[in-house]
A and B are shown apart, each in its own frame.
Chain A
Amino acid sequence: MTPIEQYRALLTILYKEIHRFMRIWTQTLIPPAIMIMLYFVIFGTLIGKRIGEMGGFDYMQFMIPGLIMMSVISNSYSNVVSSFFGQKFARSIEELLITPLPHYLILLGWVLGGVARGLLVGAIVTFVSLWFYDLSVDNWPLSILVVVSTSILFSLGGFLNALFAESFDDISIVPTFIMQPLIYLGGVFYSIQLLPAIWQTVSLANPILYMINAFRFAILGSSDLDALGFSINFALFMIFGFILLLASTCLWFLHKGKGIRS
């Protein structure tokens, strides 16, 4: 395929993916907005006032970057895993496999679809948060870099999950038993400086901690990263390292036909 043909094919996959989640917007866009609104009402307005400051910020202010990142992570992942597995299940993935599309375009198309939904939900959550708090952003370019790269990373994760999944149960195991605990324990609602030393050390093994705190750093100008002695560069290095690792793993399994060819 020529570069222009590849570009058109990529746009087709992306259009199809965006069209898919927009068609079912009541399932894909509204629930995260409602959930985040409830978090703001309960943890921010009601309980947050009693908590006071967290990590040197109002509790509501502290929580906003974490909640935005939590939405981006879970929506990027779930968009790709459900869409790609759905196509496998319905055998409509064959539509793509019989075409001249190279594997990297298939992967890129789905990842961009996941990023599109992740960013759109992130934007909705940000908009909702502005009702509750007058948020200002410390570093726009860094905020965008962290949120986009994290969205890419979890879209890749969703794709890998979908390749291996053989049933609908398989696409809910990783989000439920691995991702959700890591997100909640990654410092969305609290500063890990509140934890005893041993649990602070354990928390450092959670990669999502770095992503949430990198985003908080970009939005608020400060995060647990400073206190723990890690620079923002280290967090970015981790994110991009994982992106490279997952992208090459996905491409290798696509090449081998894992889960898509007999």
Chain B
Amino acid sequence: MKALSITNLKKEYAGGLQALKGIDLEVEEGDFFALLGPNGAGKSTTIGVISSLVTKTSGQVKILDIDIDENHSLAKKKLGVVGQEVNFNQFEKVGDIVRNQAGYYGLSFKESRENAKYYMKKLDIWDKRNEQARKLSGGMKRRVMVAKALVNNPDLLILDEPTAGVDIELRRSLWDFLTEINNKGTTIILTTHYLEEAERLCRNIAIIDAGEIVENTSMQELLTRLEVETFIFDLGKPLTVLPEINNFEMFLENPTRLKVTLKKDQDLNSVFKVFSDLGLEISSMRNETGRLEELFLGLVESTLKDTEA
């Protein structure tokens, strides 16, 4: 079964801006799916239509095979959404915010309390349940939003940039948590500007640009399209002259930092062999940029240029 099925979805805002130009998208049940795109590409509009915050111009949206126009109520029961911005009354107590959200889905008082407690504990905000939300840090507010989105135990969870502006510790704990609930069967759709996040978490990916899906494939398949990859090697002993090595494009950034660009058909083993033969001491190694980032930039290059212009 498809967790989400979008057919020829169009959205034209008042004023003529065509945010979505007839997109088609399918997400399998149980998937961890990334929806990426530059600012203004149509990601949030797509999520807005799915969650009824934006009225579509035309097209069809199905959540777990349920058409949102034909059976709005049942379709929405299956859905949880973490919006891009804080969207709860910050003068309320954290516990009330999460419990009330369960109540809006028609859960009993007991279920609401139990679910709220479970997710607040999971997200480490249980101790804050009696505090006004406005007193929480940005990261804590994000956790409240995630708890709120999960309190009805949705089959499909959509997260619109859930880790934007949060510290690394929270980001990593959120990644672990999302992986855990995905492993338990919840389908997750994630939009993010942190491409390493998508690369690390998601199995499938769609890239949207200027209201159109420009790529829709598995993460693995997409990454195999990478033509070149650049690695940075930190050297144990400084080098004054760049060694001449055939086949590899190399650049000495400074005496202890060597940049090597590999083509698709070259492997790292051969690089290490050469370094070993030359007696180079490598203390650490990393990618210059995320692999997905290089592909992403290539796919949405035209939009990014327009934005800069």
Contacts and interface: CB of A to CB of B under 8 A. Distances in A.
Interface stretch (B72-80, B165-173, B213-221, B285-293): B72-80
A99 B83 contact: no
Nearest to B72: A100
A91 B76 contact: no
Interface stretch (B34-42, B86-94, B193-201): B86-94
Interface stretch (B52-60, B117-125, B225-233): B52-60
Interface stretch (A1-9, A42-50, A171-179): A1-9
Given A6-B106, A12-B100, A100-B105, A91 B52 contact: no
Q: Is the interface of B mostly helix, strand, loop or mixed?
A: loop
A145 interface: no
A92 B87 contact: yes
A95 B105 contact: no
Contacts of A257: 55
Interface in A1-38: 1-2, 4-6, 8-9, 11-13, 15-16, 19-20, 23
Nearest to B52: A97
Interface string B61-77: 00000000000111111
Interface string A57-99: 0000000000000000000000000000011001110111111
Interface string A237-262: 00000000000000000000100011
Contacts of B52: 97-98, 261
Interface in B148-188: 148, 152
A100 B74 contact: yes
Contacts of B249: none
A56 interface: no
Nearest to B73: A100
Q: What range describes how many residues of A lie at the interface?
A: 20 to 34
A94 B80 CA distance: 12
A97 B51 contact: yes
A5 B13 contact: no
Interface of B: 13, 48, 51-55, 72-77, 79, 81, 83, 85-92, 96, 100-101, 103-109, 148, 152
A26 to B, nearest CB: 14
Contact of B148 (A95, A101, A102): A95
A9 B103 CA distance: 5
B104 A96 contact: yes
A2 to B, nearest CB: 7
A96 B52 CA distance: 10
B96 A1 contact: no
B292 to A, nearest CB: 29
Contacts of A4: 106
Nearest to B89: A92
28 contacts: A1-B73, A1-B106, A5-B106, A5-B107, A8-B106, A9-B103, A9-B105, A9-B106, A12-B100, A15-B103, A20-B89, A91-B86, A91-B87, A92-B88, A92-B89, A94-B87, A98-B53, A98-B81, A99-B104, A99-B105, A100-B73, A100-B74, A100-B105, A100-B106, A102-B73, A261-B54, A262-B54, A262-B55
